Amino acid sequence: MNLRHAVKSLSVLPPPSVKVIMSSSNNGTAIQDTAQLKKEDYGPQLNGTIWFLTTVSALFMGLRLYAKGWRKRPFLWDDYFLVAGWVSTSYTNLR
């Protein structure tokens, strides 16, 4: 494909509200208006995933802090940053 052909093909693109779908059933191309397509709501699934990962990270953070306390090792700067980051992430998840 040369540059002239590429530029020519760009000039015939459909408007942004039209989605071009390649279909093997009709051996051609079907054009659908994206305004008519059903919008899927991934909000609840995404929210559940975020809270699951937040819980898993809290579990590992708790185990780390417990192990440091059990072995009587001091909490260092990285532990404080870990807790601050987790609190910040949890607060962001609440909003």
Q: How far is CA 19 from CA 13, 67, 92, in A?
A: 10, 54, 34
pLDDT digits over 37-93, tens only? 667 888 889 989 999 999 999 999 999 999 999 999 999 999 999 999 999 998 988
**Residue 85 pLDDT:** 94
E strands, the chain, where? 18-23, 28-33
**Residue 95 pLDDT:** 75
- Residue 26: which pLDDT band, with cuts at 50, 70 and 90? low
